[in-house]
Amino acid sequence: MESSISQVYAAEKIFTGNEWLADSAVIVDDGKISDIIPSAALKDQPSTKYHLIAPAFIDIQIYGAHDKLLSVYPETDSLYRLYDYCSKGGASHFQPTVATNTAEVFHKSIDAVRAYWKEGGKGCLGLHIEGPWIHPLKKGAHLEQFIHSPSVEEAKDLLEYGKGVITMITLAPEVCSREVIELIRSYGIIISAGHSNATYDEATAAFDSGIQAATHLYNAMSPLQHRALGMVGAIFDHATVMTSLVPDGFHVDFSAIRIAKKILKERLFVITDAVTETNAGPYQHHLTEDKYEAAGILSGSALTMAKSLRNLVDHVGIELDEALRMVSLYPAQVMKKADSMGRIAKGYDANLVILDELLEVNRMIN
């Protein structure tokens, strides 16, 4: 059997996730990175030398794209549209998300992911269910008629139906029993605390007991006040919990991102929280000033991961290498995928994004 021909991608600079390499090339064989070498060591020089090669981005919270919200159209076409949208924004992988809804919608969305995988669809990490087990006072744009505390039986039914597909659940820890939380964890699902009115003590106890992440820092969670530190204070003060953030300037002021970054360092990562224009279903998102609103409430972003990266660099003042980690390596760590993606290293999957001088996506390799 003949071996495949190695693919060579050379660039003025490569960011591996750990370090910068100048005038180097990534060698890819059968979808895996087989080597990273100086361009001068290449026997045959490639006709194209790119500006910058970095690990492809990973978006673990996005709801729909190209006029199809997954919860409204729980079918494979919605996921292909999501993959196209994410790829054009530099993300090789995405975690489609369904907000607070009915069990029927969750089941159909689970079915859609299974079918997408069966068809060979690329990039989908699994399904992120955000709600309905959240606090009604922190519902944001989520619909209150669906919000409730789960019984063990309800949780088990959903987990069994979504076994192998559900990869993350956002919930408010103060409305879920310890039994429910332990049950979710037993299925290997990542729990993210969000849409929560937890006190500092409640949130800290939840993080100490094994909840490893939090959903969209500052948004739809109890705020940090000087006598009531809330979930924001607990996230800031915890040693290990990681939290996502939406860096569009609407969900969070850029100065607030800068402050959070100083405190959280490598525990802060990016999601787009992106939705799409829709007039169907219970969540009707409409574009307003480069963000989406539903019934006049901020309901999602119009970000891509590449736009998020530029915002971190241009408006927050984060160094490019760290901003690149926030859109690639850190999400991979949250999803426990950092042994195969989020870096450019021998043996890793060849998920690469090629960026120009303006940090616009030139090409995706995956």
- Segment 56-65 shows an average pLDDT of 98
273 is catalytic: yes
CATH class for the region spanning 57-334: alpha beta
User: What is the chain's Cα-based Rg?
Assistant: 20
| Mean pLDDT of the 98-104 span | 96
User: Given phi > 0 = left and psi -120 to 50 = alpha, else beta, which region is 181?
Assistant: alpha
Indicate if the pLDDT at residue 3 is higher than 70: no
Report how far residue 21's alpha carbon sits from residue 335's, in angstroms, rounded to the nearest whole number.
Answer: 27
Residue spans per domain, the chain: 7-55+345-365, 57-334
Q: How far apart are the first and last CA of the chain?
A: 24
- pTM score, whole prediction: 0.96
Going by DSSP bridges, is the β-strand pair 7-15/20-29 parallel, antiparallel, or unpaired?
antiparallel
The two structure tokens encoding residue 48? 């194209």
Residue 278: the pLDDT is 87
* Catalytic residue of the set 59, 248, 273, 349: 273
63, 70 Cβ separation under 8 angstroms: yes
**Do 207 and 241 meet the contact criterion of CB atoms below 8 Å apart?**
yes
Q: Residues 260-285: what's their mean pLDDT?
A: 93
> How is domain 7-55+345-365 classified at the architecture level of CATH?
Roll (2.30)
Q: Across residues 303-326, what is the average pLDDT? A: 98
Find the mean pLDDT for residues 98-115.
Answer: 97
Residue 43 pLDDT grade (very low, low, confident, very high; cuts 50, 70, 90): confident
Average pLDDT value for residue range 206-214 = 97
**In the block, residue with structure tokens 């979504």:** 162
Question: Per-residue pLDDT tens for 127-183?
Answer: 999 999 999 999 998 999 999 999 999 999 999 999 999 999 999 999 999 999 999
Mean of all residue pLDDT scores within the chain: 96
pLDDT tens column, 155-171 = 999 999 999 999 999 99
Report the pLDDT value the prediction gives residue 46, as an integer from 0 to 100: 85
Residues 6+ apart with CB under 8 A from 252: 217, 218, 219, 245, 246
Could you tell me how far CA 127 lies from the centroid of its own chain? 11
pLDDT at 294 (0 to 100): 87
| pLDDT bucket at 4, cuts 50 / 70 / 90 | low
d(CA 299, CA 139): 11
Statement: residue 1 has pLDDT above 70: no
